[in-house]
């Protein structure tokens, strides 16, 4: 138990807050290979098409740079967030926290 607690403490220190830890742990099933985004997007859309997988992919893509500085990255992110919003029906996901985070971040990027 002490070993597990030490590992959890190390993870918390590494990621600094629980949201990042949760996102990182939840993102293990979808790869965010930014060299071939179309494959990842197709995988998400054809298999699960859920907000959690979309959010994981989008957050990992954002980690590749700074959209405030890199206009190319900003445009790619806006495009992928747009795809996510289009692929996820609001009626089905309106109560989902990940869906809400996608919508908020999409609005921030477009502003």
Q: What is the DSSP string of 7-50?
A: HHHHHHHHHSSHHHHHHHHHGGGS---TT-HHHHHHHHHHTT--
With a cut of 60, say whether residue 18 has pLDDT above it.
no
With a cut of 90, say whether residue 100 has pLDDT above it.
yes
* Domain segments of the chain as ranges: 38-110
pLDDT in tens, 33-63: 444 465 667 667 666 678 898 898 889 888 8
Residue 100 class from Cβ within 10 Å (0-12 exposed, 13-18 middle, 19+ buried)?
A: middle
Which CATH number describes the domain made up of 38-110?
1.25.40.10
């Amino acid at each position: 138990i002490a070993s597990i607690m030490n590992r959890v403490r190390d993870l918390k220190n590494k990621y600094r807050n629980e949201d990042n830890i949760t996102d990182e742990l939840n993102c293990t099933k979808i790869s965010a290979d930014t060299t071939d985004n179309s494959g990842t997007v197709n995988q998400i859309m054809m298999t699960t098409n859920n907000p959690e997988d979309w959010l994981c992919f989008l957050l990992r893509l954002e980690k590749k740079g700074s959209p405030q500085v890199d206009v190319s990255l900003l445009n790619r992110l806006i495009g992928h967030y747009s795809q996510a919003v289009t692929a996820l029906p609001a009626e089905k996901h309106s109560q989902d926290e990940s869906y809400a985070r996608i919508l908020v971040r999409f609005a921030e990027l477009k502003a």
